[in-house]
Amino acid sequence: MSKKRLHSVVQRFNLDLPDGGLLTDQNQSWWEKQEFSDLTRFEVEQELDIVAQLEEKKAAIDQKLAELSNTEPWASDMVYLMQIPGMGLILSMVVLSAIGDITRFSHPKKLVSYAGISAGVHTSGETNRSKPITITEGTQSEEGRKELRWAMVEAAWAAIRSDPYWKGQFKRLEKRMHKNKAAVAIARRMLVSIWHILIKREPYHHFDEETIAYKMLIWAWAMDETALKDMTRQQFVKYGLLRLGVGEDLERIKRNGNPRRIAPTEEVLAMSPELKPPGKFFVFKIFIGGAFQPREQAGVEDFKDHGKKKPHQR
């Protein structure tokens, strides 16, 4: 409401909007330069104070969500949702909180019905008519379903704008239905994909490793040092990739013309050895004498029945 009132002041006095946005920090001086009556200036100052307080609280909430996203029980599922187009940190957390334990849905249709975005088809003779979106009544929380429905439609629109695959699906649907219904249909299909990804614990198949890595980087950008838990953002990206079972050899990505480094696999495995695939050989770096030094480690399968020397014999 405060932002709307400030915009109404601009319209009332026919003011030219400043560059960079009306409520950005760099434009605070713009308000001070305007010639207002004492009452109007008091009104503007009060509204600006309210906006600043709300933005501060919003930033604190966002950071708390970011911290929770990398903490169990959220973290183990978040890594799978964050790789999906249209799914950001907040939408992923909303979806996870609404779904709860994914295994309580034995089939994706049950999850779609729970979200209230299932669609039926009425068949009569030679005609097929789509039924309206159904909202299944039940004993579980209506509020949870509303949040899930909202989050999935928001994610669908974001995916339609940014992802070629979902944009193509939307264009095909839009030829035979209103665009809002087409977006809901995309949300339904995305939710089915989420069910399969969470149940099977697998990467998103319509993205390459670089795109998934960039999604992990977006997640890392939302977190401060506390939320990252002693990892750099480059290490967190590789950590996410290894949890998904992809990107083992990926150490650099390029987005929008900007190259970005990703931590080497051995660097992250030295911090989280539980992610090491069985039978794999890596050169680890350990912290000795104030610097990282290489140390060879290998799984038992690397040397079994091959007559190779053990690492300590080399």
What φ, ψ does residue 289 adopt, rounded to 5°? Answer: 60, 35
Question: Do residues 91 and 99 make contact, with C-beta atoms less than 8 angstroms apart?
Answer: no
pLDDT at 297: 43
Q: Is the pLDDT of residue 273 over 90?
A: no
pLDDT at 277: 64
pLDDT, greater one: 75 or 291: 75
Please compute the mean of the pLDDT values over residues 12-40 and round it to a whole number: 81
Question: Do residues 50 and 2 make contact, with C-beta atoms less than 8 angstroms apart?
Answer: yes
Q: Which tokens in the block code for residue 2?
A: 């405060």
pTM of the model as a whole:
0.75
pLDDT at 189: 96
Please compute the mean of the pLDDT values over residues 265-278 and round it to a whole number: 84
pLDDT at 269: 92
Distance CA 297, CA 313 (A): 12
28 confidence band (pLDDT: 50, 70, 90): confident
* 203-245 confidence digits (pLDDT tens): 999 999 999 999 999 999 999 999 999 899 999 999 999 999 9
Please compute the mean of the pLDDT values over residues 186-198 and round it to a whole number: 97
Give the percent of the chain with pLDDT over 90.
Answer: 61
Q: Is the pLDDT of residue 296 over 80?
A: no
Question: Do residues 203 and 83 make contact, with C-beta atoms less than 8 angstroms apart?
Answer: yes
Q: Which tokens in the block code for residue 239?
A: 């950590």
pLDDT at 234: 96
Question: Do residues 108 and 99 make contact, with C-beta atoms less than 8 angstroms apart?
Answer: no
The lowest-confidence range among 28-37, 55-64, 187-196 is 28-37
* 154-163 confidence digits (pLDDT tens): 999 999 999 9
Give the residue among 259, 251, 257 at the shortest CA–CA distance from 235.
251
Please compute the mean of the pLDDT values over residues 136-149 and round it to a whole number: 59
